[in-house]
Amino acid sequence: MSRTVKRAFKYRFYPTDVQAAQLSRTFGCVRLVYNMALAARTEAWAQRRERVGYNATSALLTGWKKTEELAFLNEVSSVPLQQVLRHLQTAFGNFWAKRARHPHFKSRKRSRRSAEYTTSAFRWRDGRLTLAKMTEPLDIVWSRPLPDGVSPSTVTVSCDAAGRWFVSLLCDDTITQTPATGQVGIDAGIDSLLTLSTGEKITNPRHEHAYHKRLARAQRDLARKQKGSANRAKARFKVARIHARIADRRRDHLHKLTTRLVRENQAIVIEDLTVRNMVKNHRLARAISDAAWRQLRTMLEYKTAWHGRDLIVVDRWFPSSKLCSACGALAERMPLNVREWTCQCGSTHDRDVNAARNILAAGLAVTACGDDVRPQRESSRTGQSSAKQEDPRATKGIPVL
């Protein structure tokens, strides 16, 4: 069985000086148009309670191009400018639907430098990509081939803080869905990145920790440089390159790990962790951020959708660590320093393995019995449900993706 999905293939490329200048100019125009459109929409709502849509901002863009102050917007391709207005429309749609916060202005120093081109703004011939307003194709390093017989529908060009240029090609890709019979529960941690219900523990590589001394030295050098100087710019690139290497290694490890889990298992059960709140603990914030649990979940979400797998998310208040996976008894307390414990039934548990087994059992209870999917937070916090229910695992809210 196969399935056609939209998939982005990202490659590094090396622009010429002319191409780099043109793309940098495009990035600046994209950021400017986004900020001006956001200001116009915000002002319209604040003063007149009027919701300005994409068509209105597109008309504003046409007017801006005709002014003397903003005539330079005509020097770049119009497609990335229109695309950023569509992105702003999507951001406001998510905001009004309460799925995201209010859009914020793009910063010249901190925002991602990127531009999106649709089919009308690039030429794809014989594996060579030429963008609008350019005469030469991009010098792309083809680290892996594109699927046979496909052509990109959207091209996104970006430049990261380390000065590396990337092009992302969105294509239709056919994925063969192979059958799998495995079922696994996953407990995320810091000492062990993941603990599986099978008893396997996957070591946390701690990528940031491995580069901690080198990064600290580079940051100290950056702090000593005078602001605005050329030496400060060089030191900033040095820090950015270290961060980029950490992020690349972390992403590569997570891709390999999630691909293996998805290929081996039909059902994957995880916890609904609130990483944004967990990093408020200043003692664990660095380790939690280095573990990248949110990125891990995102990869599992789209890969399970590609391969026809089931991803089940257990409610965050489910007491997986305090619950005995053998008899279902709920312990009163379970401090973080307790890594092994013995239940009143005589079963001795490894804290993480026991939690993974409980997560798996709770997730399968939903798919098999249609258990309650609404969180019952008070009972799960106090543990009172163990006295009212035969099995506490059947009382917790477990939303299914």
* Active centre residues (catalytic): 187, 271, 352
User: What are residue 278's phi and psi, to 5 degrees?
Assistant: -70, -30
DSSP H stretches of helix in 49-173: 54-66, 78-96
- The first and second tokens of residue 213, run together, are 């001394």
Q: CB atoms < 10 A from the CB of 151, how many?
A: 12
Tally the C-alpha atoms within 13 A of residue 17's C-alpha that lie toward its C-beta: 0
Partners of 156 in the β-ladder = 116, 168
Positive or negative CA dihedral for 364, 369, 375, 378?
negative
- The first and second tokens of residue 392, run together, are 């506490």
User: Strands, E, within 132-261: which ranges?
Assistant: 140-141, 154-159, 165-176, 182-188, 192-196, 201-203
The candidate with the shortest Cα–Cα distance to 3, out of 311, 307, 401, is: 307
Query: How far is Cα 157 from Cα 332, in angstroms, rounded to an integer?
Result: 54
Partners of 269 in the β-ladder = 185, 312
- Give the length of the chain: 401
The candidate with the shortest Cα–Cα distance to 116, out of 85, 89, 160, is: 85
